[in-house]
Amino acid sequence: MKCISCGTAMKTKRENYHYVESGLPHVSLESIDVSRCAGCGESEVAIPAIEDLHRVIAESLIQKRSRLAPAEIRFLRKYLGWSGTDFAKRAGTTPETVSRWETGASPMGGASDRLLRLLVVTKTPVNDYSVDALAEIEVDRSPRPMRLGLTRDRKGGWRPRSGRDFVTA
Ligand SMILES: [Zn+2]
C-alpha cells in the first residue's frame, strides 16, 4: 500500500490501537492493522466489523456501575442514530440540555441516565442484562469514563477483553 499523501510505501503492523475515533477516551482495540508511512508520518487504520464493535462498546457502557460520563452519553446517543434534538425529544428535554450533558457542563440526572441505557437495550437486546442492575448505579457527580479493551472473537466480531486494562501502543 502506498501513502496517499507522499506515495512512499507504507508498512503495516498489528498494534493495540487506542480508538480515539470513538470519542471515548479509554477504548483500546487489540491487534489492529495500522499502516504507517516512514516518509511523512501518515497512518491508516483498518478496523474490521465496526458495527459489531460499536454494539459491544454500547453493551459494555450500559453495564457500568457508575453514571455515564459525558463522552459515553454522546457515544450512546450516536449509537442510537439520533441527533441531539432527537434524543432531547425522547428524553423530554431540550437540545441545549443534551449538549450540556455531552460536554459535561451539567450532569445528566439519574432518571435520564437510566432512560438512555434502556433505549440502548431496546435497540439491541443484551444478553444477561437485568433491569435490576439499574438499582446498582452509583450516584457520582463526576463519573469517569470506562476503561475498555476489546479483542476479536472467533466469529470475526468483537468481545470485551478480560483483564480490561491493557496498554496501547
Ligand atoms: Zn507519506
Q: What is the pLDDT of residues 99-121, one digit of tens each?
A: 999 999 999 999 999 999 999 99
CA dihedral of 160, 128, 77, 44, whole degrees rounded to 10: 20
Q: Cβ atoms within 10 A of the Cβ of 161, count?
A: 17
Ligand 1 is an ion; residues with CB less than 5 A from it: 3, 5-6, 8, 37, 39-40, 42
Q: What is the pLDDT of residue 163?
A: 57
Residue 35 Cα to ligand 1 middle (Å): 10
| 11-20, 34-43, 133-142: least confident range | 133-142
Q: What is the largest CA-CA distance in the chain?
A: 56
Q: What is the pLDDT of residue 117?
A: 95
Residue 11 Cα to ligand 1 middle (Å): 11
Residue 116 Cα to ligand 1 middle (Å): 42
In sequence order, which residues have a C-beta less than 8 Å from that of residue 130 and are 6 or more positions away?
none
Is 24 strand, coil or helix? coil
Percentage of the chain modeled with pLDDT above 70: 95
pLDDT in tens, 47-71: 999 999 999 999 999 999 999 999 9
Distance of alpha carbon 83 from alpha carbon 112, whole angstroms:
16
DSSP lists the bridge partners of residue 34 as 13, 45
Domains and CATH numbers, the chain: 1-48+147-155+162-169 (no CATH), 65-145 (1.10.260.40)
Quote the pTM value. Answer: 0.86
